[in-house]
Chains A and B, each alone.
Chain A
Amino acid sequence: MQYIPNILFVIALVAGIGYFTRNIRKVIRNIRLGKDVDRSDNKGERFKNMAMIAFGQSKMVRRPIAGVLHVIVYLGFIIINIEVLEIIIDGIFGTHRIFGFLGGFYNFLIASFEILALLVLVSVIIFWIRRNVINIRRFKTLKGWPKNDGNIILYFEVVLMTLFLTMNAADLQLQELGADHYIKAGSYPVSQFISPLFNGMSEGSLVLLERGAWWLHILGILVFLNYLYFSKHLHILLAFPNTYYGDLKPQGEFDNLEAVTNEVKLMMDPSADPFATPAGDEPEGEPEKFGASDVMDLNWAQLLNAYTCTECGRCTSECPANQTGKKLSPRKIMMDTRDRLKEVGDNIDKNGSFVDDGKQLLNDYITAEELWACTSCNACVEACPVSISPLSIIIDMRRYLVMEQSAAPSDLNNMMSNIENNGAPWPFNQMDRLNWSNE
């Protein structure tokens, strides 16, 4: 009988981690639905970016208030989770504060956790106020699930931190009572002020309180872990690979489509052998589709971008099109891509492989009107704290509209036929190109 808590604990742990692993595998599978793109170069620079941008949060602090608060929550979160290691060992072996033997160092650790927990609580409350009370447009424009998601995670943090401090406060009382099993360990700079609330409680109730908080805390962490998959909070994991695999080219450089290069070469060079296999991995017979109308046409780095997006809206708040009332929102481009990718993934889960559902990213999620409003200014790319490029998706979708559907706005069609015929976007004759020099 005495092992029942240990067994229950192991079951909870295995279930929690198991379900999480299963979902993460789905994320990886879905990302792999994207086309190949080579991001295996410049490992040193990539590591540096990951260290600076994801770990060092260098782009977060460009907006100092939100940035500093975020750093506190982030550091607090990581460091307090060292405590989870002790909880897991205690839980499996039925020990209590197994690292207590570290003495002074243990006191230091617990004290830092408590102070961080308090700072996290304060930051999270400020975050909540920013999201719900203060009129910040990038948060106000979130509706429905994304809005709730943002708040749920804040409530989670509040509950977890409160449980952690309650657990410590009850533990402190028990230590002072000299209760069996509750060794004297740790230093409690924050919970010592909570502890007096429990004065006069019997030892039995205190144990119940301490155990209750302990269990809810660890179960809460497991639930949190599994919540990530359904939430924008996946970024706490994916920010690392995403910044590592980010685009290293100058922001102004758009990729040159290789399939097009091959065709252009054939057109320009009549002596080229049309049957020579191009360098690309074109499947036999099927002509390559130009641009993107659905998530499978994007590359895996773009799909990783979509799962990483934190929905913070920094991109949209910098976007000139959005600021002037156009429908385009780079955040929405990323959220739509993720939603559609999730839908495609669910479709695969249900049917074994993707079965056409009559939907696609273009039109069903992102409209042509949004795509045509982009000035390709890169403000969104610059603003994103986790190296996402909404612009690259916009351009790939424009490519589909123009090259597969000839669906450009008529003004742009005029511009393009001018380039084709006169070598300039306006109807001027190429032979007049030097006239300025003697005007």
Chain B
Amino acid sequence: MSETVKVPTMAEYMAEGKKPEVLFWVGCAGSFDDRAKKITKAFVKLLHNARVDFAVLGTEESCTGDPAKRAGNEFLFQMQAVTNIEVMNAYEIKKVVTACPHCFNTLKNEYPSLGGDYEVMHHTQFLKSLLDEGRLTVEGGKFKGKRITFHDPCYLGRANNVYEAPRDLLKKLEVELIEMKRCKRNGLCCGAGGAQMFKEPEPGNKDVNIERTEDALETKPDIIAAGCPFCNTMMTDGVKNKEKEDSIEVMDVAELIANAQDL
């Protein structure tokens, strides 16, 4: 990561007796997956540029337990949740932002009844709020006029009814936003949710990500925009499968904004 951007941890803040404005929950994909790490970095640059006082948990962060819960392992999920809540409550966290809709959903909906009550935002919502407050500028730059289609992540869209924040940001990029035939509440899954990311699919006649990539390709996009590291992987694989990786990029909304500003 470029030297100018420092990523402070909660422990460092605590040592200085300070509290950040928001905790950036990086998530497992954002921490370890090579593709997702780029999204993490892009988002951090945007936070830094908007002078957001943020911190991460770093080595004190652990999986939210989402994949375990969707796989049916409620024990493991609750063990993870209780551990994470203990850490966050010790730091008196009030507000959390994350670039992963699965972390977002779990932290926002499933942690409160276990003692973890925070204001949780998806990074597209957070960026939108920065934009509204005039702390963030979003401009087209090199994406101006490009054809972009947005793939709704299930855990952001249907699961939590967030459809507009990512679209509002994309519109600000002055791109040509084209909707797929199945979008918003009718959006088709990329195939990764419910712990499918971590296993082979059941026998069938097609992979879900191929079906979804075909939806996206129908819009003849220059770029497929995503808001989830897992969707990103699935769509990237889909585009490769269709041998279109030279002409179509799959990018996170945060990457698009950061790249437009050459951050």
Binding site for B on A (CB under 8 A): 249-254, 256-257, 260-261, 263-265, 267-268, 290-291, 318, 320-321, 323-328, 369, 372-379, 381-382, 395, 397-403, 408-409, 411-412, 414-416, 419-420, 423-426, 428, 430-439
Nearest neighbor of B111 in chain A, beta-carbon distance? A256
A379 in contact with B188 (CB, 8 Å): yes
Q: What's the tally of chain B residues with a CB closer than 8 Å to chain A?
A: 71
Given known pairs A250-B160, A375-B189, the reply for A433 and B26 (CB within 8 Å) is yes
Pairwise interchain contact B161-A250, C-beta atoms closer than 8 A: yes
16 contacts between A and B (CB under 8 A): A252-B155, A252-B160, A256-B113, A267-B79, A323-B206, A375-B192, A377-B194, A382-B185, A395-B70, A398-B71, A399-B74, A415-B67, A415-B71, A415-B195, A434-B31, A436-B1
- From B67, B76, B158, B211, contact of A382 by CB (8 A): B158
Chain B residues with CB below 8 A from A437, complex form: 1, 7, 44, 56
Partner-contacting stretch, out of B57-65, B167-175, B219-227: B57-65
Binary flags per residue of B65-78, CB closer than 8 Å to A gives 1, else 0: 10111111111101
Closest to B195 in A: A412
Find out whether the CB atom of B194 lies under 8 angstroms from the CB atom of A376.
Answer: yes
* Alpha-carbon distance between A412 and B200 when the two chains are bound, in angstroms: 9
The 3 closest A-B pairs by CB, nearest first: A252-B159, A398-B72, A376-B194
Q: How many A-B residue contacts, CB cutoff 8 Å?
A: 221
Q: In whole angstroms, what is the CA distance A425 to B76 when docked?
A: 12
Q: B59 to A372, Cβ gap below 8 A? A: no
A416 interface neighbour in B44, B73, B193, B211, Cβ under 8 Å: B73
Cβ contact of A419, chosen from B26, B65, B211, cutoff 8 A: B65
* Chain B residues within an 8 Å CB radius of A324: 201, 204-208, 210-211
In the complex the two chains form, is B158's CB within 8 Å of A260's CB? no
Name the contact of A409 in the complex, choosing from B67, B82, B199, B205 (C-beta under 8 A): B199
Q: Give A250 to B37 CA distance when docked, in angstroms.
A: 29
Chain B residues, CB < 8 A from A325: 203-206
- Report if B80 contacts A (CB, 8 A): yes
The reply to whether B72 and A395 contact each other, CB–CB distance below 8 Å, is yes
Chain A: minimal CB distance from B5 (Å): 8
Assembly CA distance A256 to B85 (angstroms): 15
Minimum distance in angstroms from A397 CB to a CB of chain B: 8
Q: Which of B74, B79, B196 has the most CB of A within 10 A?
A: B74
Cα separation A374 to B197 with both chains bound (whole Å): 11
Knowing A251-B159, A382-B158, A420-B76, the reply to whether A426 touches B32 (Cβ < 8 A) is: yes
Which of A290, A378, A423, A431 contacts B63 (CB under 8 A)? A423
Min CB distance, A288 to chain B, in Å? 12
Taking the nearest CB of chain B, how far is it from the CB of A227, in angstroms? Answer: 34
Q: How far is the CA of A238 from the CA of B40 in the complex (A)?
A: 48
A399 to B195, CA, bound (A): 13
Contact at A430–B71, with CB atoms within 8 Å? no
- Closest A residue by C-beta to B27: A424
Contact of B109 among A250, A369, A428 (CB under 8 A): A250
Residues of B within 8 A of A433 (CB): 26, 31-32, 58-59, 61
Q: What 6 new A-B contacts, CB under 8 Å, besides A249-B109, A251-B159, A423-B63? A: A379-B154, A398-B72, A414-B198, A419-B67, A425-B28, A437-B44
